[in-house]
Structure formats: C-alpha cells, structure tokens
A and B are shown apart, each in its own frame.
Chain A
Amino acid sequence: DAMVIQNPRYQVTQFGKPVTLSCSQTLNHNVMYWYQQKSSQAPKLLFHYYDKDFNNEADTPDNFQSRRPNTSFCFLDIRSPGLGDAAMYLCATSEASASYNEQFFGPGTRLTVL
C-alpha cells in the first residue's frame, strides 16, 4: 500500500542535543510537509518542500531545519531542542498537480525532550 512512513514513532532527546526525524513516502508526491502538533492543538505547519524548493513558514523558529535529499525522503532537524519543542511531529505529502491539494499524513513521531 502507498503510504507515508515516519521513523521513529517515539524519540527521546536531551535538552540541547540535536535530533533528526525521518519521513519517507511511497506515493511519489512532489510536496512534503512538516507539522508540529502540541497537546490538544491543531497541527501547525513548519515548512514544506515543493520538489526541491524549500518553503519556510514565517513563524518557524530557526532551530528547525529540513532536508529533502530525494523525492521519497524528508528530514526534520532540530538543532538545539528545548523543552518547548516536545510535541508530535507530523509529516504529510500531496501532489501539486492534482485539482486539489489533499494531504496524506504519516503516523507521527512523538518527541520528548528531557
């Protein structure tokens, strides 16, 4: 089945220790997104890639970076995690050429910062 995969599902890191979250997709979609979702809140878009073009949301902290080495993979790097970065991180994909930009979500990675 075509899908969006996130690894790991649970990640524990220490305050200030860099961490990387991984997302892969078998849908061959050209757009990939990273969202941050804190408890009892809606997902908040951090950035997205349209092919190789990186699009950062204006309020995304510099502490958050992303890489997309190829169509299938996208990474979220948190350079110096703070306690406030503990959240669920959701990856999503969409096909820009479709008539509407429906997003397909992965299962998420829950990040704990100690």
Chain B
Amino acid sequence: AQSVTQLDSQVPVFEEAPVELRCNYSSSVSVYLFWYVQYPNQGLQLLLKYLSGSTLVKGINGFEAEFNKSQTSFHLRKPSVHISDTAEYFCAFLPGGFKTIFGAGTRLFVKA
C-alpha cells in the first residue's frame, strides 16, 4: 500500500539549533515528493518539492530536503531555526492520478 510515515509527531528545538523532520514513503512507482508547512489557522504552503534530478532540494525559508531512494526517505532539514518556523509540517507524495498521500504531520516547536 502507498503511504507516508512521518516518524515524529512533535519536535521541540531551541532557536538557532538545527532540525531534521523525518519522512519515509512507501510506493512501488516513481513518486513526486513534497513538504508543506501550515501555520495556525492557515492553508498549506509549499516548502519544496522533489520531481527528479538532484537528490538535494532547496526550498523557501532556508529549508532543504534530501531524497534517498534506497531508504525511501525524504527528510527535511534546516541548519538554524527561528521562532517563526513554529508550525505543522506535512510530507506528501503524488503516486499518480489526482490523489495526494499526506503524512500525519510533525509539529515543530521552536523555543527561545
């Protein structure tokens, strides 16, 4: 079955520390992979996407992610977080057709 697993439901981190949000996917076909951010009471905003090519993808707000086909992972990283990065982060992939498979989300909480 096609699925996305976000391994951490919550990640607390101090401001200016690095962070990694983990995502694993399960699919038997080629996938397009995405990370979205959702601030309180707002919609989903695209952070970055992997379609093909370079496995290291850079996105907005200083985030980057690395696609690892052998480990079926697409972990999101930021070298130094800010208070304003506190939000919910969703990993997702497009297996084809009109369906988007979302992970359950990871709540990033940045502490001063």
Contact = CB atoms under 8 A, between A and B. Distances in A.
A88 B41 CA distance: 8
Contact of B43 (A42, A100, A102, A105): A105
A55 interface: yes
A40 interface: yes
Interface of A: 4, 6, 9, 31, 33, 40-43, 45, 48, 50, 55, 88, 90, 92, 94, 96, 99-108, 110
Interface of B: 32, 34, 36, 41-46, 49, 51, 88, 90, 94, 97-100, 102-105, 107
Given A40-B107, A42-B104, A107 B98 contact: no
Contacts of B45: 105
Contacts of A4: 43
Contacts of A110: 41
B102 A48 contact: no
A55 B98 contact: yes
B76 to A, nearest CB: 16
A56 B51 CA distance: 28
10 contacts: A4-B43, A9-B41, A33-B98, A43-B90, A50-B98, A94-B98, A100-B32, A101-B94, A102-B32, A107-B42
